[in-house]
Structure 1
Amino acid sequence: MVELEKLNSLMLEYLDPEVRLVLDMGKYTIEAGGKRIRPILMIEVCRMFSDDCEIVLPLAVGIEYIHMASLLHDDVVDGALTRRGRASANLIFGNQAVVLGGDYFYAKALWLYAVYGNLKAVELVSRAVMHMSQSQILELISLGKIISEEEYFKIIDGKTGALFSASMGVGALMAGSPFYEEFYKIGMSVGRAFQLIDDALDYAGSEDRLGKPAGNDLREGKCTYPLLSVIDKLDREWVLERFGKENREELRQKVIELGGVENTKKRAWQEIEKVIEYVSKFENSSTFIDLLESVVKRDY
């Protein structure tokens, strides 16, 4: 597996802005760290089919730029104060600069795909970004509402799943595999599993490990799977009196007590098991399977 230090170094190298504030914002965001799961997925899918994955490194950087741009924009939309254990970029640099800085990350990612990829790679990643943007709008208009399970998955498939899809699809494509569309499709399940675990950790995770306060989703009025999985056991009026309100802690504890967190983790494993079943038929898949399992075993 490519070391995170190499990815981080390339992320700084390719950033290369002419405006100092963009560089400062980029360094602040990159140096905050992160799991880098999307670029690592791309590289490991490529490695399943090719001995030479150098060709995919700039594109792996590009996929992480897109993810970082979405986080910068999300923090402005959500009014976030912390990200990865320290002050969010919007708190340091201001909302206007962060929105424009996020735009630079998007543009640089597309530049990397145009220079180091091919037309199909550009199409895959553009498809993902369109899906992601629309789903984030869906999430925005759903705040404060009890949504259906179908609506929930529609939101997370775009918000999270689409970029996982692009990561895996591009990895297979650049390795010369004819199965790149299949990897794009199953990437959605990996993204689902990742987001489901995120949602479970928001209810029952450690703030020290998460790098942000637990219970953010309830505070923002986001209806996620832990709540949805037990909603039939709760009085909806009672839920709405606490959903996004100051007394939301009582709701969080009730969801945990009714098994909402365990239900969510179980559903995440179901998504990952489908992917493991598919990739197991390929040679050199053992390292990739370990990576898939780490998506649902994590505690941050």
Structure 2
Amino acid sequence: MTSAPIRAVAVLGLGAMGAPMARRLLEAGFDVVVWNRSAAKAEPLRELGARVARTPAEAAATGVALTMVADDEATWAVVTGAEGLLAGLPPGGIHVAASTLSLTAARELTRVHTDCGQVFVAAPVFGRPEAAPRGELRTVAAGPSPALDRLAPVFAAYSAQILRLGEDPALGHAAKLAGNLVLAGLVEGIAEAMALAQRAGLPRARLAEVLHAFLRSPVADGYAERMARGDDAPGFRVALAAKDLDLMDGAGALTRTPLPLVAAVRTQLRAALARGWDDRDWSALVDLLADAGG
């Protein structure tokens, strides 16, 4: 694999995270090629100077292809097929998976890219969509060291912090799932605390002040404040949260790790989905709990 600096990056998947990441790469001076299943989402980036590819294969011909799509299934849909990323990425090219994927998918993607003489790197990100345009995401990266060295300026374009976790790409997705497990417990815990306080007569906003006084966590503060003001505009949608909890459950089964917290939060998220709350932010779990007691 070459050690030449990366000049061009393809971004495949232009949703709430992918589009601002592509903008940050443009602002950092990279030549950016974009692709999205619904082509209309690419037009604002074309106006900013990105080139719009017709297929994932065309986008991947740049040599570095970053995917930011919903899940394992969507990733494989982009990667495989006659016009897929795998077909267009040249030998030595790098596929960077920034989505949250299962450990099984990470291992299989590593295998298929290796078989094709390509490189697979896991680089999922932590941060709500509003952090992406500010370059404040946290990237957890794993893959071959030479590839990570070359990708450092790419990650720096949209990340405030980059953590390198080793040579095995599955470690990046293990870190993302483990980190999201902690977030799931935090969100569920704050939601239960809010429901309890409200039923005891303490307004949610006052409990948010209490939590801020001793937790002092930007993440905890953010979710407590959202729940206090009833703001469930989607940042991390219930549907995506449920998908991630399913991935955590699968990782637990694969590694034979008991995850009782995952089981509990999955139950709550499934109840939210049953109400049709797919597109609400997962902080809406507080309303689920508030309603449950009648």
Q: Compute the TM-score of the two structures, normalised by the length of structure 2.
A: 0.30
Q: Compute the TM-score of the two structures, normalised by the length of structure 1.
A: 0.29
Structure with higher Rg: it is 2
Q: Name the one with the larger strand percent.
A: 2
